[in-house]
Chains A and B, each alone.
Chain A
C-alpha cells in the first residue's frame, strides 16, 4: 500500500512539473490526416513552428487518431491550462461547442469553421472561392487546349466552393474554356486516395485537360504526380506545394492557415467569427522560384488586377455555400 502511495505520489509530482512547463502556453490539435500531410495540417504546424522559433517558446500539440478523441483532446489541454487552443478543421465544431462553455477563461481558435458564436471562441473561415478564382485565371492563361480540370476530395460544400471559384476564374479569362470537375468520393477516404486522384487526372487528360487543380488533401499528391508524369501543369492547395514538382506545378492556392495559427499563438486576436479573403491576405496564390518561369508577367498582371478588384469589393466571387449552387459549373 505504501509502495502504491509512493508511486502515485511521485507520478503526481512529475505531472505537476510537466504541466507547469506548458501551463498557459498555446496548444494546437491537428485533424485526422496528421501533422505532416503536406497540406492543411502541415500548414498549421508550420505556423506554430514559426511562432515557436521567433519567440523561443514551446507549444503543446496533439494528433488525434480517431474522431472519438476530439472532445477529450480539447478538454485535456483546457484542463492543463493551455490557452489559446487552436484546432485545425471543420470536424472540430461539434466537440468544441460542447466543451468550450466549460472553460470560460480559455481561448479557443477553430479553423475552417464560420458558424460557432461563443464568447471564448474565434472561428476562422476562408473565402476559398477567391483564392480558387485567382488560380483559375492562371490555369486559363496557361492552358493551350482550352480545357482545364479540377479534382476535389470528398464531395462536401466546402470543396464545391473551391471548384466553383476556380471555374469562375477560368471563365473570367476565357469564356469558351471547358472546366472538367470530378470529386474523388463521398466519404472521408476521398481525402487520402492518391491512386483514385491519379486515375481521375488521367481521365481528365484524355478529355483534353492540360492544367489540373487539386483540392483534395492527400489525394492531391497523386494528382500532382500524374500531372508531372503526363507532362501537364498542376495546381496545389492549402500549403505552397510548388516545390513538390519544380517547374511543373503552375501555382498553389494558398490558404494561410499558418498565419491564423501564428497570430493566435501571438495573442493578437479576439473571439468572434472571422472570414479571411484575398483582402485580408487569408487566401492567395503562390509565386516562388519553382514556378517563376511558368507565370509570365502578363499573367501576374491579370491576377494582380483581379486581386485588387476583390480587395476593393469591385469583384465579388460567387460563394457556392451561400446558395448551394454554382452559376458556371455543374457538379
Chain B
C-alpha cells in the first residue's frame, strides 16, 4: 500500500495545520485591531515567561496528557470516546469522596487511593456507554457526549447539595484535609534549592501522567491485549475471525480510556493549591484531549508534545486576555482555531499532502523504470 513517509505524517501534517490556524488567527487579531506579532510574543511569554507561568503550563499539560491518552487508547480500538469531560468530572467526585471521608495519614496513601477512586469513577462512567456500544450497537460518540451533560448535572447536584459544607455559598466541596494535598513540583524543586515553578499548582501528578504514557505504550505495543485492541481497531471482522471478542475489547478499551480520563482529576483536585472539587472542574480538558490525541498520532510521545503545546496555548491565552484589552472571547476563538485545525480538520490537511507524496512516489517509480 502506498503511504507518505513517516516524517510527513508526524511532523509535516501537524505543522501545516498549525500554520493554517496561525494564518486565520492573524486575520482575527487584525480584525479586532491588535498587532498579531505582539500578541504571539505575549502568549509565548505567558506560557513560559516566569516560573509561575511555566508551572501553570505544565499543570495544564498534565491534564491534557491524561485526557489525550484516554482518547488515544479508545482510538486504537477504533472507538471515539468524546466523553472525557464527563469522565474527568466523575473522577473528581471519586477523588473528593475518598479524600473527604477517609482520614489519610499521609499523602502517598491518599494519592494511591484517590488515584484509584478517580480512575474507577471515570471507568464506571464510561461503562454504560461501553456496554451499549458493545452489546446494543448504540454509537459511542452519541452516548459519551450525552453522558457529559449528565456528569455535569450530577456534579452540580453533588456540589450544591450533598458535598457542600453548610453555610458555604460557593458550589464546591470543603477543602480537603492537609494530608491529602499532593506536594507541588516547586516543593520538589526546593529540595534542590530551586524555585523553578513558583506558586503554581503543578504537582507530582505530572509524574503519574508520564508513567501513564509509558504504561499505555507498553499496553498498546507490547502486550497481547494491546495487539488485540489494535487488531480490532484496524479491522473488526478480521479480529473476530482471529477469535478476538468484540464485546470484550470494546469494554476493556473504553474502561481503560475512562480510567485514564478520571485520573486527571487527581491533578485538578488533590494537586491544586486549595485542594477541593469545584464546579466545571474539567474546564474543557476532555475535549482538548481529542485534539491532543489526534495531533499526537495516538502515540504517547506525540501526546506529550501535543499536550505541552496545548498547555502553553491555554496558559498563554489566559495571560493574553489578562494583560491586554483583547476580550477573553477572542482568545477562546484562537484556541478553538488550533483545536479545529489540528483535531477536527486533520483530514483536510492530511489527504492533499498524502496525495502529493503518492503522486511524487509514483512519478519517481515511473522515472526509475
User: Do chains A and B interact in one complex?
Assistant: yes
Which residues of chain A have a CB within 8 Å of any CB of chain B?
Answer: 7-8, 10-12, 14-15, 18-19, 22, 60, 62-63, 65-69, 71-73, 75-77, 79-80, 90-91, 93-95, 98-99, 102, 154, 156-158, 186-189
Whether A158 pairs with B169 at a CB distance below 8 angstroms is: yes
B161, CB-defined interface residue at 8 Å? yes
- Judge if B5 is at the interface, Cβ distance under 8 Å: no
Q: Are B322 and A60 in contact (CB under 8 A)?
A: yes
Q: 7 extra interchain contacts, Cβ-Cβ under 8 A, other than A7-B41, A12-B49, A76-B319?
A: A14-B41, A15-B45, A18-B323, A62-B321, A67-B278, A75-B199, A157-B167
The answer for the CA separation of A8 and B279 in the assembled complex, in Å, is: 36
* B44–A11 touching, CB < 8 Å: yes
Contacts of B279 in A (CB 8 A): 67, 188
Q: DSSP majority for the A interface?
A: helix
* Interface residue from B48, B283, B324, B332 paired with A68 (Cβ < 8 Å): B283
B48: nearest residue on chain A (CB-CB)?
A8
Query: Which of chain B's residues have a CB closer than 8 A to the CB of A99?
Result: 273
How far apart sit A34 and B300, CA to CA, in the bound complex (Å)? 37
Chain B positions within 8 Å of A67 at CB level: 170, 172, 278-281
- 1/0 per residue, CB under 8 A from A, across B273-290: the answer is 110101111011000000
Closest to B274 in A: A98
The residues of B that contact A188 with a CB separation of less than 8 Å are 156, 160, 171, 279
Residue numbers in B under 8 Å from A22 (CB-CB): 323
B169 touches A156 (CB 8 A): yes
Does B44 contact A93, Cβ atoms closer than 8 Å? no
Instruction: Spell out B's residues near A (CB within 8 Å).
Output: 38, 41-42, 44-46, 48-50, 52, 56, 156-157, 160-161, 167, 169-172, 175, 199, 201, 268, 272-274, 276, 278-281, 283-284, 318-319, 321-324, 328, 332
Q: Specify which chain B residues have a CB less than 8 angstroms from the CB of A90 in the assembled complex.
A: 169-170
Contacts of B321 in A (CB 8 A): 62-63
Given the complex of chains A and B, what is the CA–CA distance between A8 and B41 in angstroms?
A: 8
Assess whether A93 is in contact with B199, with CB atoms less than 8 Å apart.
no
Question: How far apart are the CA atoms of A90 and B172 in the complex, in Å?
Answer: 12
Tell which of A8, A12, A75, A189 touches B156, judged by Cβ atoms closer than 8 Å: A189
Q: Which of A8, A22, A72 has the most CB of B within 10 A?
A: A72
Docked CA distance A91–B280 (Å): 14
- Asked if residues A91 and B274 are in contact (CB atoms below 8 Å), the reply is no
The answer, among A65, A69, A94, for a CB contact under 8 Å with B175, is A94
Cα distance, A187 to B324, chains bound together (Å): 33
Q: Name the B residues within 8 Å of A93 (CB-CB).
A: 170
Which of A14, A60, A95, A158 touches B274 (beta carbons < 8 Å)?
A95
10 contacts between A and B (CB under 8 A): A12-B49, A14-B38, A15-B41, A63-B328, A66-B283, A68-B281, A72-B318, A79-B52, A158-B169, A187-B157
A69–B50 contact, CB under 8 A?
Answer: no
Shortest Cβ distance from A71 into B: residue: B273
CB–CB A77/B322 < 8 A: yes
A123 and B167 CA atoms in complex are apart in Å by: 17
What is the distance, in angstroms, from B18's C-beta to the closest C-beta of chain A?
16
Expressed in whole angstroms, the minimum distance between the Cβ of B340 and any Cβ of chain A is 18
Instruction: Give Cα A42–Cα B38 distance, bound, in whole angstroms.
Output: 29
> Counting chain B CB atoms within 10 Å of each CB, which of A68, A71, A94 scores highest?
A68
Partner of A94, one of B56, B160, B276: B276
Smallest CB gap from A22: residue in B: B323
Which residues of A are found within 8 Å of B332, using beta-carbon distances? 65
Q: Lowest 9 A-B CB distances belong to which pairs?
A: A67-B278, A15-B45, A11-B41, A11-B45, A91-B170, A187-B156, A66-B283, A98-B274, A62-B322
Q: How far is the CA of A8 from the CA of B56 in the complex (A)?
A: 18
Could you tell me if A11 and B273 are in contact, using CB atoms closer than 8 angstroms? no
Complex CA gap A11/B268 in Å reads: 29
CB < 8 Å neighbour of B42 from A7, A18, A72, A73: A18
In the complex, A180→B161 CA distance in Å? Answer: 24
Known: A63-B321, A158-B169. A72 touches B274 (CB 8 A): no
CA distance A91 to B274 in the complex (A): 13
Contact of B170 with A8 in the complex, beta carbons under 8 Å: no
Q: Hey, which chain A residues are within 8 Å of B46, CB to CB?
A: 15
The answer to whether residues A68 and B49 also contact, given A94-B175, A189-B156 and a CB cut-off of 8 A, is no
A108 CB to nearest chain B CB (Å): 15
On whether the beta carbons of B322 and A76 are closer than 8 Å, the reply is: yes
Docked Cα-Cα span, A71 to B199, in Å, equals 10
B32 to chain A, nearest CB (A): 16
Interchain nearest-CB distance for A78 vs B (Å) = 10
Compute how far the CA of A94 lies from the CA of B171 in the bound complex, rounded to whole angstroms.
Answer: 11
B271 to chain A, nearest CB (A): 11
Closest to A324 in B: B167
Query: From residue B292, how far is it (CB to closest CB) to chain A in Å?
Result: 18
Q: A67-B281, A98-B273, A187-B156 are in contact. Are A75 and B52 (CB under 8 A)?
A: yes
B158 to chain A, nearest CB (A): 10
The reply to whether B281 and A15 form a contact with Cβ atoms under 8 Å apart is no
Q: A187-B160, A187-B171, A188-B279 are in contact. Are A94 and B274 (CB under 8 A)?
A: yes
Q: Which of A22, A90, A95, A187 has the most CB of B within 10 A?
A: A187
Please give the distance in Å from A96's CB to the nearest CB on chain B: 10
With a CB–CB cut-off of 8 A, which chain A residues contact B42? 11, 14-15, 18
Q: What CA separation (Å) do A7 and B273 show in the bound complex?
A: 32
Chain B residues, Cβ within 8 Å of A154: 160
Bound-state Cα–Cα, A12 to B323, Å: 13
What residues of chain B lie closer than 8 Å to A157, measured between beta carbons?
Answer: 167, 169
B270 vs chain A, min Cβ distance (A): 14
CB atoms of A7 and B44 under 8 A apart: yes
Do the beta carbons of A91 and B169 come within 8 Å of each other? yes
Q: Tell me the bound Cα distance from A69 to B282 in angstroms.
A: 11
- Cβ distance A74 to chain B, nearest Cβ, rounded Å: 11
The chain A residue sitting closest to B325, CB to CB, is: A61
Contact assessment for A66 and B280 in the assembled complex, using a CB-CB cutoff below 8 Å:
yes
B41 touches A10 (CB 8 A): yes
A318 to chain B, nearest CB (A): 18
* CB <8 Å contact, B199 and A102: yes
- Which residues of A lie under 8 Å from residue B170 when comparing CB positions? 67, 90-91, 93-94
Shortest distance between the CB of A89 and any CB in chain B (Å): 9
Chain A residues near B281 (CB-CB < 8 A): 67-68
Rounded to whole Å, the gap between the CB of A222 and the closest CB of chain B is 20
Question: CA of A157 to CA of B199 in the docked complex: distance in angstroms?
Answer: 33
